[in-house]
Structure 1
């Protein structure tokens, strides 16, 4: 059972890092630090968008418009850590 918990924790941690990388890349593109027409940057950006957007889009629909500030990755990270801790508590209490 602990191996499954370790795998669950690792997947959540990896996804959080992917969310952080997606946010950082979007900032770098917005401030013209990296060229979005570069094939490598485009491929990385497309991969990050395809992995994160299906989960972030429903959160963005619920959140009010904050004038260009997107806090949906922060909300998702908090939810992921909440779910992770909840699963650990349920398994530890069982």
Structure 2
């Protein structure tokens, strides 16, 4: 049972770090610190979007459209934090 808990915690930790990188990178792109025309930046951004879009898409379906501001990453981030620190320990311990 402890192995399942550790595996789920590891997966949620990796998702947490990927989401942090995605959020910081989106800020840097929006403030023109990073240039999307650079091949490395473009490929990292595309890869992060492909990884996180399956998480964001169901959240966007239920949230109102706030077009210039996308709140789906914030909601997903809060869900991952809640799963890691509240729900997962409550289930296994």
Q: Same-fold call, TM > 0.5?
A: yes
Give the equivalent residue in structure 1 for 2:30: 30
The residue correspondences of 1:1-94 to structure 2 (distance < 5 A) are 1-84=1-84, 85-92=86-93
How far has the Cα of 1:67 moved from its partner? 4.8
2:54 counterpart SS class: helix
Cα-Cα RMSD: 1.6
Gaps of 5+ in 1: none
Q: Distance in 2 between matches of 1:10 and 1:42?
A: 27
Of structures 1 and 2, the one scoring higher in RCO (CA 8 A, sep 6+) is: 2
Q: Distance in 1 between matches of 2:88 and 2:28?
A: 35
Deviation per residue, 1:22-77 (Å, 9 max, x gap) = 11111211221111111111111111001001110121121112352222112112
